[in-house]
Amino acid sequence: MTNKSLDFYLFDETRSLMLDWSPRFNIIHGIAPGILYLHQDSCLQIIHRDLKAGNILIDSDMNPKIYDFGLARRFVGHDTVAKTKKVVGTHGYISPEYAVHGHISIKSDVFSYGMETIYKEGRSIELMSASLHASCVVFEVLRSIHVALLCVQHHAEDRPTMLSVVLMLVSNGSLPEPKQPAFFCEESSYEHDSIQSVDEHTITIMYA
């Protein structure tokens, strides 16, 4: 793609200055309906399993394109959840139920989408890069972070569907209060809960 991938900008101090708030907000809004199409509107229900900044390509008009379906999983009929002993994806973007128990569902992709932000103690705006202060719309920033936090809730059933995510992003209505994000709670249980086999060679290490 003309403008490479999202991580090309986000994880480089100099190049991140090239991406002000408007195109970032456009990218947030563009990815969500793309995932919704895979989950609900495609003739096949597809779970990407490796949604991350490096797999979001940016075209000449700064529109995002979901890329790399090498790890994607297709669901058939009325199946909504699957279990696997082979966990694939990128550390930091993998949902806890998938990483620990091998449970994969559309909520796994929702979690990965939400990880691309986070807030705490009412200081959400402090997460924003200083380079965005001049171009940002505070309401849009705060709402995007709030929606992202809803996506990364620890339990899959507490996360919204991508349809709800799309609707929340385009509306001005009130949002439910997010619970504690995943991996920040119940850590003591992880040493006892593990899937039988994990292929470490299929998990990409994320460098921020």
State whether residue 76 is helix, strand or coil.
coil
Q: How far apart are the first and last CA of the chain?
A: 22
Mean pLDDT of 141-163: 93
Q: What is the pTM of this model?
A: 0.81
Give pLDDT, residue 197: 43
Q: What is the pLDDT of residues 74-127, one digit of tens each?
A: 887 555 678 887 888 888 899 999 998 899 999 999 999 998 775 544 556 666
**Rounded distance, CA 116 to CA 148, Å?**
8
Mean pLDDT of the chain: 82
CATH architecture of 6-204: Orthogonal Bundle (1.10)
- Residue tagged active-site, from 50, 68, 79, 158: 50
For the ranges 14-23, 70-79, 91-100, 158-167, the one whose mean pLDDT is highest: 158-167
Residue type, 176: P
87 within 8 A of 102, measured Cβ to Cβ: yes
Give pLDDT, residue 79: 58
- With both helix axes pointing from N to C terminus, report the angle between 162-170 and 21-36 in degrees, rounded to the nearest 10: 150
Least confident of 1-5, 98-102, 181-185: 181-185
Q: Cα angle at 173 between 169 and 175, to 5 degrees?
A: 75
Close Cβ partners of 89 (under 8 Å, ≥ 6 residues apart): 49, 50, 71, 98, 112, 202, 203, 204
Give pLDDT, residue 182: 59
In the residue annotation, 20 being an active-site residue is answered as no
